Amino acid sequence: MTFLNQTPFKLVFSVFVAWFLYAAIRLVRYRRFYKDLPKPPHSFLWGHLKLFGEIVAMYPPNTHPQAYYTSLSQKYNLPGIFYIDLWPLGPSLLIIADPDTASQVTVLKSYPKHIENANFLSPMVGRNNIASVNGSTWKLLHNMLAPAFAPLHVKNLVGMMADEVTLFRGTLGRMSQTGEVFSMEETAGKLVFDIIGKAVFNFPLNAQTTGSECLRDFKEILKMVVLGRESWNPLTKARASFKRKAAIKRADSYIDDKIRERYDYLKRENIEVTKKNALSILDLVLRERLQESRQMAEKDSAAELDPDFMELAITNIKALLVGGHGTTTDTLCFIYMLLSIHPEAMQHLRQEHDRVFHSDISTTHSMLHDSPHKLNELDYTTAVIKETLRLFPVGFGIRTPDKSSTLTYKGRLFPIENQMISPCQHTMHYNPAIFPEPAKFDPERFLREGEVPRNAWRPFERGARACMGQDLAVDELRVILLLTVREFEFECAGIKPNEKQRCAWTDMDLRFGDIVFQELGLEAKPRGGMMMKVRRRV
Ligand code: HEM
Ligand SMILES: *[C@@H]1O[C@H](CO)[C@@H](O)[C@H](O)[C@H]1NC(C)=O
């Protein structure tokens, strides 16, 4: 009797054959799905794995994937929607690079958020965050928070923003005296954190002055998430997870205290919070609880602020602090970076600021307190912000179909089941058929009548799930630019321009080096902290 005839071996062998057949059938099934679909060159064995790997390798480490999609789209001249097959290592991606088609899934109908949004955000802020949830939880949160983000309410915050910028100007002034190199991401980040902190809590977080524990904890959380995501070493992963949880605990307990403090105060003083008079996002979050407590009367606040409510409140306050802070800081960094090589844009900005406000900065500051709506007259400034967000979109979201969803492109129905649907603003923003000379910084394109097609500019996405903070972010950036660009010149420090363009869609790396390839953090952030020097204008 030979070894081959032994029963255990036969069993193992047949199980192996069965598994192999099963895998082969799955492979055939998966790969055939893509047969008639728009896609980059597809291999039966690899799907797009090999090709995708080659694209990834073109870029510096941890580049935000939006750059990969733009490369694929341009290199293979792909249509407005295309598929990427990463089976068995990754999901099947359906990239939408056509604005009207993106509107099908975000505006005409708002597809639910893909579970990967939640998987991505929850290690940082918790599961039930407004940017990831669907259905009734989302509605509840949206209705709760929307009044805080209404354009009129945001204009009430403009004076506060201007006051915070005074501290930032002081810091820039000191940097200009010493001539030192500093991280704009870090310095501007503190300013933006103080502003968003005031908007959320209506009390100072003092990141710019004494330093904020809360900001340090958020930074630690993000750092540990990235470390855990990138490391293959289980020990490193475990340590990162441990440290992340410790930082989350500290941040949560800080926010928990603030919520209870404010709740007790509003109750004790018998202050009725309305949608109109709410001083902060926190007040809006507490509004219904206060109303209920009045109706029920005579219950202690510990019971009213039940654990479910507190969890939801803490998660979403964190989501706003974290989400609103990084995105706006990144955008400001890219604006200063672009302005550093565009003196003509600087000149236009300064002229506009003198004309619409006042040539004197402190007069400008008081005007912001008295007539914040004048910000809406800053057309060129707004165009600079828009053009920067076109070149460097920082936010990204993915959708999933529900049962009744369909997707048509050029009159044809496309399969969407089990697809990770990714409207990719970056690819649209770099499409020369939509934005001529897409790699060029040209703010005026937004001022030339009818040049930018409706729908095509989507850094805040559009539709029901569009960014809630967009008016806040744009007003904040306007205020910061208005109060800084006339006083300072900005210069990038330590840049290493690339000798050869890394990819076809931008030549900006010939000027700035790899910092133009946005890094995947919580959002698409600047690489290397945006090191800068500032000079005071004389
Ligand atoms: C320049 C700055 C900002 C950019 C580029 C930006 C971008 C975005 C994008 C693209 C989305 C949608 C993601 C998706 O489709 O899945 C989003 C969602 C959101 N953003 Fe922003 N954002 C910015 C600033 C802010 C600020 C300052 C806040 C508020 C503090 C904020 C609050 C939100 C919220 C609450 C959502 C979720 C909305 C929902 O799902 O209903 N954002 N943001
Ligand atoms: C949102 O809805 C989609 C589709 O029903 C689902 O796949 C996803 O898991 C939901 N997200 C969350 C956070 O529950």
pLDDT digits (tens, 9 = 90+) for 21-39: 898 898 899 999 999 999 9
Are the beta carbons of 81 and 70 closer than 8 angstroms? no
Residues 3 and 42 placed together within one structural domain of the fold: no
CA distance 390 to 456: 10
Question: Looking at residues 444-453, what average pLDDT do you find?
Answer: 94
pLDDT surpasses 70 at 168: yes
Confidence bin at 215 (pLDDT 50/70/90):
very high
Among 116, 120, 127, 134, say which to mutate for ligand 2: greatest number of ligand atoms within 8 Å of CB: 134
Angle (deg, nearest 10), helices 379-391 and 307-339 = 100
Question: Looking at residues 397-411, what average pLDDT do you find?
Answer: 92
Question: Looking at residues 76-99, what average pLDDT do you find?
Answer: 96
Residues 201 and 63 placed together within one structural domain of the fold: yes
Residue of 337, 262, 285 lying closest to 514 (CA atoms):
337
The CA–CA distances, whole Å, from 40 to 43, 82, 95, 422, 501 equal 10, 8, 12, 16, 22
Q: Does 461 contact ligand 1 (Cβ within 6 A)?
A: yes
Q: Does 137 contact ligand 2 (Cβ within 6 A)?
A: no
Confidence bin at 300 (pLDDT 50/70/90):
low
85 has which bridge partners?
92
Residues 240 and 365 placed together within one structural domain of the fold: yes
Indicate the range of 146-150, 378-382, 492-496 predicted with least confidence.
146-150
**Token pair for residue 135?**
């259905």
pLDDT surpasses 80 at 48: yes
333 labelled as ligand-binding?
A: no
Residues 94 and 225 placed together within one structural domain of the fold: yes
Q: Does 102 contact ligand 1 (Cβ within 6 A)?
A: no
Residues 263 and 152 placed together within one structural domain of the fold: yes
CA distance 212 to 217: 9
Residues 73 and 6 placed together within one structural domain of the fold: no
> What is the reported pLDDT for 288?
84
Among 193, 200, 285, 327, say which to mutate for ligand 1: greatest number of ligand atoms within 8 Å of CB: 327
pLDDT surpasses 60 at 3: no
Q: Does 469 contact ligand 1 (Cβ within 6 A)?
A: yes
CA of 468 to the centre of ligand 1 (A): 6
End-to-end CA distance of the chain: 97
Among 109, 117, 122, 400, say which to mutate for ligand 2: greatest number of ligand atoms within 8 Å of CB: 400
Q: Does 467 contact ligand 1 (Cβ within 6 A)?
A: yes
Residues 76 and 21 placed together within one structural domain of the fold: no
Name the average pLDDT for the chain.
94
> What is the reported pLDDT for 1?
47
Residues 136 and 204 placed together within one structural domain of the fold: yes
Indicate the range of 110-119, 182-191, 288-297, 512-521 predicted with least confidence.
288-297
Phi, psi at 523, each rounded to 5°:
-135, -170
> Which letter does DSSP use for residue 63 in this model?
B
Percent of the chain scored above 90 by pLDDT?
83
CA distance 460 to 308: 30
Ligand closest to 113 (CA) is 2
Question: Looking at residues 341-368, what average pLDDT do you find?
Answer: 98
Residue nearest to atom 26 of ligand 1 (CA): 324
Range of the domain at 28: 1-33
Q: Does 70 contact ligand 2 (Cβ within 6 A)?
A: no
Give long-range contacts, CB 8 A cutoff, 24+ apart: 71-76. 71/503, 71/504, 71/505, 72/40, 73/97, 73/427, 73/431, 74/430, 74/504, 74/505, 75/40, 75/504, 76/40, 76/41
Q: For the domain that residue 386 is a member of, what is the CATH number?
A: 1.10.630.10
CA of 275 to the centre of ligand 2 (A): 29
Is pTM beyond 0.85? Reply is: yes
> What is the reported pLDDT for 203?
85
Strand, helix or coil at 65? coil
Question: Looking at residues 187-198, what average pLDDT do you find?
Answer: 96
Confidence bin at 286 (pLDDT 50/70/90):
very high
Contacts of 405 (CB under 8 A, 6+ apart): 105, 109, 111, 416
Residues 21 and 133 placed together within one structural domain of the fold: no
CA of 403 to the centre of ligand 2 (A): 12
Ligand closest to 385 (CA) is 1
Residues 83 and 99 placed together within one structural domain of the fold: yes
Domains held by the chain: number:
2
Neighbours of 108 (CB within 10 A): 9
Residues 29 and 40 placed together within one structural domain of the fold: no
pLDDT tens digits, one per residue of 491-518 = 999 999 999 999 999 999 999 999 999 9
Residues 29 and 39 placed together within one structural domain of the fold: no
